[in-house]
Amino acid sequence: MTENKQSGESIVPDLHKKIKAAFKSFDYESNNNVDVREIGTIIYSLGCFPTQADLHDIIAEVEEDHTGCIPLDKFLPAMTKVLLEHKFPPIPEDLLLQAFEVLDKQKKGYLEPEELTKHMTEEGELFTQEEMEEMLTALADHKNNYVYYKDLISQLTIDPDL
Amino acid sequence: MKCNCWCFLAAAMKAAVLIQRWYRRYMARLEMRRRYTWNIFQSIEYAGEQDQLQLSSFFSFMLDNFTQLNGNGPDLISQLLDPVVDPWLDRETCYKLIPVPESYTGPRLSFPLSVSDTDALLGAFKEQQTLHARYVLQLLYETKRLLKQMPNIIHLSTSYTNEITICDLNKHALLSDLIITLSISRLAALQNGLPSAETPYVFNGDFVDRGKKSIEVVSLLFAYLLLYPDYMHLNRGNHEDHIMNLRYGFTKEVMQKYKTHGREILQLFQDVFSLLPIATVIDGKILIVHGGISDQTDLDFLSSIDRHKVKSAMRFPRRSLEHLDIGHSCKRKRRQCGHSRQDSAASTSSSSSSSSSLSSSSSSFCSPRTPSCLSPRPCPSSPSMPYTINVLQVPYLDSLSSVPPPAPPQHDREWKQVVDILWSDPKTQEGCSPNTFRGGGCYFGPDVTRRLLLQHGLQLLIRSHECKQEGYELCHGGQVITIFSASNYYEEGSNRGAYIKVGRELVPRFYQYQVSRTTRKLTLTQRVRAAEGTALKALKEKLFTHRSELLSGLQQYDQNNTGCVSLSEWAQAFESVLRLDLPWRTLRPHLARLAPDGSVDYQSCFEDMEPGIPLPQVTQKLADTLFRYRTDIEIIFNIIDKDHSGLISIEEFRHTWRLFSAHLGVDIDDRAIDDLARSIDFNKDGSIDFTEFLEAFRVVHKLNNKEQQLNGKTAGGK
């Protein structure tokens, strides 16, 4: 996030532009409203790693009472605050690696699909079946279906930063 | 022991949460990239379509001016653009006299066609064979004969048939899409079946252009049409238009595959295209058209017109001065002065009689400008761009009278109605306004739809014309469905295709699919990366072809010539020069590097691109123009090069270039053009190999894109 080296005054308008751009991608009717179900994607894509609980809190703050819609004029200030305070910092790679190693009890260096599925769909902030399928398709090795997590972490986190 | 288990469980849960959070964030990033990629493709496509407007107005401009410069009679350009119907092509001898050599191993069709002929065609095309010119001509001749008997609007009934399948192959139709939909194929799981009594079809236009297999696709469609005229129905699309074909590749494909008979084939295609029905109605309830409607659409009127007269949307009907009786002009002026719109710039354009556009109607093509009223920026991209109404200034007594254009005669109305059907797009806002993106047709709102459906007792409008990520989209409260059947339209993984099936209950059912080049299922990650790579490549080419303008825009922020500007300034400059509605700040890492202090090193934007071969000696500005309009210039040269020798004379080159740059308002002096012409006349024999010349202006990417994908990164900055 080297862009932050710019002077403090110019940060906020830039943040606003970033937030608006992300918001616009889901504003299908061009009326400055997005469906509440897309908010998670928007916030994640702006570089944050909120938990589901965090997301619920933000939604409660910005949702337009029971309409299922989130207006831009409420989202913008809330999200700007989140970004300025670095509220939901990214997960460092080594922590992620440790997490996988915890699950890999036998220290095999990989996880079998059933193992991973069990953890992801029965613990923590449960994955849906769809999410699980996509994860396995994306991460599992094509021949033996194992998830070699060490390689994956570096591969999948290389991403041009916002 | 117990404590250990408990610790593990707690740790495992924490670990799970961490992984879930990380993964969800990764997927969200991917989804965002997918959307931005989509944005890029769409913006560039729309910008490209505005360019095509440019080309059409240039053609008109050329027609009006080229003859005068040459001094000769009807010139070769007008012959191709406005050909007189050649009666010879209406006779069977047009193809019967063409011998088919023994060595030809492709399908030999026998008319009337049978299933074995269509099977032979399918098989041959899968094997990359080309149909012999004789059979192409015969096929077109028979199709033309059949289409002449058809009405403008086809009425179908579900009582006599099974469910009807509605598709839109659209431009860039991959042959594989057609094969998937129609036949038993090993490539995909979805097989709808060949057209037959059991499986009737409506194909909703845009059978040609942009792919490399347009001839094959359209031949198959026409063959099935001849085989099953009751179960196979084709609507005309905006690409069934010979001038669009010049720009979007169909003409070129035909000329390349059929060197000897290409022109006759194109001529017949032109006739056949204009004879295609404009609309289809199912059970009097579902209206199917390619583009859309306007607030002036009148289905009864449309049923009555001579549809074949509207050859091309780009050649609006010529209005000659005979329509205006100059002697009575001032009387008419007094009557109509309340309605006249004057454009002072147009007051000098008294000679462009053929280019006056309809006044105050909601759709018309921009009339071409004459050199005196050009603006430096040729491409109109904002809705505020006025449609120049050419008002005639005629001398009467001692002053000039303004004569407003007369009320549109019959064939203008016909032309407009057809263009609206082929070019319009639905919008969420109410009302009807000119479709400035496309340059023709309208944007129509839900109220327009409601009114039309009510007026004709319809309940649904099905149309195509726009690419949708999921292959289909509903709007106007479900009264309008957009269907798009070409999957991977922009790139492998860019979108799904879909088609609709409609049965007696008139409830549409959607079938989605996506053709994949590889048999292994691609992950979303791989698909997004591939599509993103292609989109970025296209975007970078655009940057390169606008280099001088971008640099001057950027240099305004960089008076000290440091080579760097802030991110905001960079985004501002790009936004204002390119006028593409894209999230520049988010795209920055793909397009430009950062300097150590966090500002943008803007020269790095252009590092990845270079011209195809060493440039002849030209100024940067001329080079940029040549890069940008390379395709258009190529088309024009191809038209001039009547005998397909690849050569045109220096004179022709000079004339064309002068006109083109005058029309664009690009300030390039004659000497630069002369130098250019002489420098590319390698043999000094007065002729120019324009293919070689144009090669220099093809943008080439320095890095091999494939390599980038393997490394999992994209080129550009970090």
Least confident span in B41-55, B353-367, B474-488, B525-539? B353-367
Question: Nearest residue on chain B to A55, judged by CA atoms?
Answer: B21
CA atoms within 13 A on the CB side of B130: 15
Of the partner residues B524, B568, B597, the one whose CB lies closest to the CB of residue A14: B568
Distance from CA of B70 to the nearest CA of A (A): 52
- Whether the CB-CB separation of B141 and B456 falls below 8 Å is answered with no
Q: How large is the average pLDDT for residues B539-567?
A: 87
B239 among known catalytic residues: yes
What pLDDT digit, counting tens, does each position of B183-214 carry?
322 222 335 667 777 778 888 988 887 667 88
What pLDDT digit, counting tens, does each position of B248-266 carry?
778 878 877 887 788 788 8
Higher model confidence: residue B554 or residue B630? B554
Measured distance CA(B669)–CA(B666) in Å, rounded: 9
- Whether the CB-CB separation of B590 and B717 falls below 8 Å is answered with yes
Task: Note the pLDDT of residue B222.
Answer: 93
Measured distance CA(B146)–CA(B277) in Å, rounded: 11
Measured distance CA(B135)–CA(B127) in Å, rounded: 18
Task: Note the pLDDT of residue B303.
Answer: 94
What pLDDT digit, counting tens, does each position of B337-363 carry?
323 333 222 333 333 322 222 222 222
Contacts of B718 in chain A (CB under 8 A): 160-161
pLDDT more than 90, % of chain B: 18
Contact A103 B16 (CB under 8 A): yes
Could you tell me the pLDDT band of residue B69, with boundaries at 50, 70 and 90?
A: very low
- Whether the CB-CB separation of A161 and A1 falls below 8 Å is answered with yes
Q: How many residues does chain A have?
A: 162
Least confident span in B17-26, B230-239, B413-422? B17-26
Q: Is B562 exposed, middle or buried (0-12, 13-18, 19+ CB in 10 A)?
A: exposed
- Whether the CB-CB separation of B80 and B533 falls below 8 Å is answered with no
Q: Is B556 on the interface with A (CB under 8 A)?
A: no
Task: Note the pLDDT of residue B188.
Answer: 29
Measured distance CA(B4)–CA(A101) in Å, rounded: 16
Could you tell me the pLDDT band of residue B62, with boundaries at 50, 70 and 90?
A: low
Distance from CA of B32 to the nearest CA of A (A): 7
What pLDDT digit, counting tens, does each position of B612-668 carry?
655 555 666 667 777 777 766 776 676 666 555 667 777 777 777 776 666 666 666
Reply yes or no on whether the pLDDT at B536 is more than 80: yes
Q: How large is the average pLDDT for residues B169-184?
A: 46
Higher model confidence: residue B199 or residue A157? B199
Contact A2 B520 (CB under 8 A): no
Tell me which of B14, B20, B714 to substitute to probe the interface with A (most A C-beta atoms closer than 10 Å): B20
- Categorise residue B611: left if φ over 0, alpha if ψ from -120 to 50, beta otherwise: beta
Q: 495-534 in B: which are within 8 Å (CB) of A?
A: 520-521, 523-525
Buried b (16+ CB within 10 A) or exposed e, B354-374: bbbbbbebbbbbbbbbbeeee
Contact B428 A51 (CB under 8 A): no
What average pLDDT does the structure give for chain B?
71
C-alpha dihedral sign at B436, B437, B439, B442: negative
Residue B352: φ, ψ to 5°:
-85, 65
Reply yes or no on whether the pLDDT at B424 is more than 80: yes
C-beta neighbour count of B175 within 10 angstroms: 19
For chain B, what is the largest distance between any 2 Cα atoms, rounded to a whole number of angstroms?
Answer: 113
- CA Rg, chain B, in Å? 28
- ipTM of the prediction: 0.84
User: Quick one: tokens of B462?
Assistant: 């099905």
Q: Is B379 on the interface with A (CB under 8 A)?
A: no
Predicted structure pTM score:
0.64
Q: How large is the average pLDDT for residues B679-691?
A: 68
Question: Nearest residue on chain B to A140, judged by CA atoms?
Answer: B523
Of the partner residues A29, A49, A123, the one whose CB lies closest to the CB of residue B21: A49
pLDDT more than 70, % of chain B: 59
* Chains A–B, number of C-beta pairs less than 8 Å apart: 141
Contact A41 B31 (CB under 8 A): yes
Distance from CA of B315 to the nearest CA of A (A): 34
Reply yes or no on whether the pLDDT at B444 is more than 60: yes
The three-class DSSP label of residue B534 is: helix
Contact B525 A29 (CB under 8 A): no
Q: Is B18 on the interface with A (CB under 8 A)?
A: yes
Task: Note the pLDDT of residue B285.
Answer: 93
Give residue for tokens 């012959």: B79
Task: Note the pLDDT of residue B520.
Answer: 46
Question: Nearest residue on chain B to A45, judged by CA atoms?
Answer: B29
Residue in B479, B483, B481 with CA at minimum distance from that of residue B464:
B483
Contacts of B566 in chain A (CB under 8 A): 6, 10
Q: How large is the average pLDDT for residues B566-583?
A: 87
Task: Note the pLDDT of residue B319.
Answer: 41
Most confident of B165-169, B457-461, B599-603: B457-461
User: Quick one: tokens of B474?
Assistant: 């509903």
Could you tell me the pLDDT band of residue B321, with boundaries at 50, 70 and 90?
A: very low
Contact A25 B520 (CB under 8 A): no
Could you tell me the pLDDT band of residue B333, with boundaries at 50, 70 and 90?
A: very low
Catalytic entry in B132, B172, B233, B239? B239
Task: Note the pLDDT of residue B404.
Answer: 38
- Whether the CB-CB separation of B164 and B201 falls below 8 Å is answered with yes
Distance from CA of A15 to the nearest CA of B (A): 10
Reply yes or no on whether the pLDDT at B374 is more than 70: no
Could you tell me the pLDDT band of residue A151, with boundaries at 50, 70 and 90?
A: confident
What pLDDT digit, counting tens, does each position of A122-142 carry?
888 888 888 888 888 777 877
Distance from CA of B386 to the nearest CA of A (A): 25
Contacts of A131 in chain B (CB under 8 A): 23-24, 27
